[in-house]
Amino acid sequence: MQVTGNTILITGGGSGIGRALAIAFHQRGNTVIVTGRRQVALDALASEYPGIVAARLDVDDPADIQRFAEWVGKAHPALNVLINNAGIMQPESWRADPVDLAIAEAIITTNLLGPLRLVAALLPQLRVQPAPVIMTVSSGLAFLPLTLTPTYCATKAAIHSFSQSLRYQLKDEAAQVIEIVPPYVQTELMGERQAQDPMAMPLVDFIDEVMSILETQPDVDEVLVKRVDPLRFSAEQGVEGYRSQFLQFNGHFHA
């Protein structure tokens, strides 16, 4: 991926990683379109950084995705980069009787069905561009799940798998599929406490390292900052090593 001269759509662009990516790409000379749940946050970003376009899109709604695809095709026909970043993360208890599936179903809709539907809707426009990019945002928890958030981790594992399959299916086309795999980052994904947690990677450091990888490795498939390596390569320890890390990791959060 070339990091300048693109027209880029970023879902979940009003806060956290999405907002920071929008600013970073905007500062490198790209046309950036951001969507999200909170119009106020999107408008504030566009006001602070003139040139960033704030657009309405509900990734949970298939009809709205189709409406948006038609709009962006007319308003921004040069769109060549899609960054599927929107996501939600909530704790769940599967010990309850009965289990309340509302949280799990909401997470699956936003984190998995949303990106799949948006890729399907925008792929016809993307594939006619000279340098199309489909970028997904998974998580280190796709490789070593946090059992407090089982459905979130499952959706991110699915995004990783989908990214691999999509990359292979499009290998004979110009399209590039890139997966960003964040570690625990200082965002408000799980609330204000996470944004201030000294155990989390500072957002600015994460974005700086991500952009450096994209700039120096234009053919990269997975964007892996050093901080995510212990999660991403947990399985490489073998069965016993993985089991030990899994128990220690989740024991810490359940303590």
Provide DSSP, 163-207. Answer: HHHHHHHTTTSS-EEEEE---SBSSSTT-HHHHH-TTSBPHHHHH
pLDDT band at 254 (very low <50, low <70, confident <90, very high): low
Per-residue pLDDT at 190 exceeds 90: no
Mean pLDDT of 50-55: 96
Per-residue pLDDT at 204 exceeds 80: yes
Catalytic residues: 152
Per-residue pLDDT at 255 exceeds 60: no
Q: Which domains does the chain have, with CATH numbers?
A: 7-254 (3.40.50.720)
Q: What angle do CA 44, 49, 51 make, to 5 degrees?
A: 110
pLDDT of res. 253:
75
Q: What is the C-alpha to C-alpha distance for residues 81 and 85, in angstroms, rounded to an integer?
A: 12
Mean pLDDT of 194-200: 91
pLDDT of res. 19:
96
pLDDT band at 14 (very low <50, low <70, confident <90, very high): very high
| Residue of 2, 42, 17 whose CA lies nearest to 225 | 17
Residue type present at position 171: K
Is the separation of the CB atoms in 7 and 55 below 8 Å? Answer: no
Radius of gyration, alpha carbons of the chain: 18
Percent above pLDDT 90 for the chain: 91
User: Facing residues of 179 across strands?
Assistant: 136, 222
pLDDT of res. 150:
97
Cis before 98 (ω within 30): yes
Greater confidence, 188 or 206?
206
Residue type present at position 43: D
Q: What is the C-alpha to C-alpha distance for residues 61 and 67, in angstroms, rounded to an integer?
A: 10
Torsion of CA 120, 121, 127, 132, to 10 degrees: -90
Which pLDDT tens digit goes with each residue over 108-165? 999 999 999 999 999 999 999 999 999 999 999 999 999 999 999 999 999 999 999 9
Greater confidence, 205 or 195?
205
Which string of b and e fits 113-132 if b means at least 16 CB within 10 Å?
Answer: bbbebbbebbbebbeebeeb
Torsion of CA 39, 41, 44, 48, to 10 degrees: -130
Greater confidence, 97 or 63?
63
Tracing tokens 């920071």 back to the chain, one arrives at 20
pLDDT band at 93 (very low <50, low <70, confident <90, very high): very high
Is the separation of the CB atoms in 119 and 133 below 8 Å? Answer: no
pLDDT band at 86 (very low <50, low <70, confident <90, very high): very high
Q: Which range is least confidently modeled, 22-36, 119-133, 181-195, 236-250?
A: 181-195
pLDDT of res. 250:
95
